[in-house]
Amino acid sequence: MLVGDIMNVGVIGATGYAGQQLVWLLNNHKRVNISFLASHSYSDNLYSSVYKNYKGFIQNNCINIQQVYENLSSLDIAFIALPHGKSMDITKDLVSKGIRVIDLSADFRLNSPEVYKKWYGLEHGGKELLQESIYGLPELNRDSIKNGQLIANPGCYPTASILALAPLLKNNLIDIDTIIIDAKSGVSGAGRSLNTNTLFCECNESVKAYGIGNHRHTPEIEQELSDLINGNISLLFTPHLIPMNRGILATCYNKLAQRCSVEALEEIYKDFYSHNYFVRVLEYIPETKWVKGSNFCDIGIVLDNKTNRVIVIAAIDNLIKGAAGQAIQNMNIMLGFDEWEGLNFPGMIP
What mean pLDDT comes out for the span 12-36? 97
Asked if the structure places residue 107 within a domain, the reply is: yes
Are 50 and 119 within one domain?
yes
CATH no. for residue 114?
3.40.50.720
Angstrom distances, CA of residue 90 to CA of 44, 176, 240: 20, 38, 32
- Say whether pLDDT at 2 is over 80: no
Q: How confident is the model at residue 202 (pLDDT cuts 50, 70, 90)?
A: confident
- Say whether pLDDT at 1 is over 60: no
pLDDT number for residue 346: 97
Are 223 and 88 within one domain?
no
Asked if the structure places residue 34 within a domain, the reply is: yes
Asked if the structure places residue 147 within a domain, the reply is: no
Are 193 and 297 within one domain?
yes
Are 41 and 169 within one domain?
no
CATH no. for residue 286?
3.30.360.10
Asked if the structure places residue 275 within a domain, the reply is: yes
Asked if the structure places residue 299 within a domain, the reply is: yes
pLDDT number for residue 229: 96
Are 166 and 307 within one domain?
yes
Cα separation, 131 vs 141, whole angstroms: 15
What mean pLDDT comes out for the span 238-254? 97
Q: How confident is the model at residue 3 (pLDDT cuts 50, 70, 90)?
A: low
Q: Which residues constitute the domain of residue 190?
A: 156-317
Cα separation, 16 vs 74, whole angstroms: 25
Spatial contact of 314 and 299, defined as CB atoms under 8 Å apart: yes
Angstrom distances, CA of residue 332 to CA of 137, 189, 300: 13, 24, 27
pLDDT number for residue 196: 84
Are 206 and 306 within one domain?
yes
Asked if the structure places residue 141 within a domain, the reply is: no
- Quick: pLDDT tens for 255-266: 999 999 999 999
Lowest mean pLDDT among 123-132, 139-148, 191-200, 280-289: 191-200
- Say whether pLDDT at 74 is over 80: yes
Asked if the structure places residue 311 within a domain, the reply is: yes
Are 204 and 123 within one domain?
no
Are 304 and 183 within one domain?
yes
Cα separation, 232 vs 222, whole angstroms: 8
What pTM value is reported for the model? Answer: 0.96
Are 219 and 295 within one domain?
yes
Q: Which residues have a catalytic role annotated?
A: 156
What mean pLDDT comes out for the span 1-26? 90
Spatial contact of 193 and 160, defined as CB atoms under 8 Å apart: no
Q: How confident is the model at residue 199 (pLDDT cuts 50, 70, 90)?
A: confident
Q: Report CA torsion sign: 285, 238, 277, 244.
A: negative
Are 215 and 303 within one domain?
yes
- Domain count within the chain: 2
pLDDT number for residue 192: 81
Are 108 and 14 within one domain?
yes
- Quick: pLDDT tens for 177-192: 999 999 999 998 888 8
Asked if the structure places residue 328 within a domain, the reply is: no
Percent of the chain beyond pLDDT 70? Answer: 99
Are 124 and 189 within one domain?
no
Cα separation, 130 vs 316, whole angstroms: 27
**132, 147, 174: which is the final residue of a domain?**
132
- Quick: pLDDT tens for 291-313: 999 999 999 999 999 999 999 99
Q: H helices then E strands: how many in the chain?
A: 12, 14
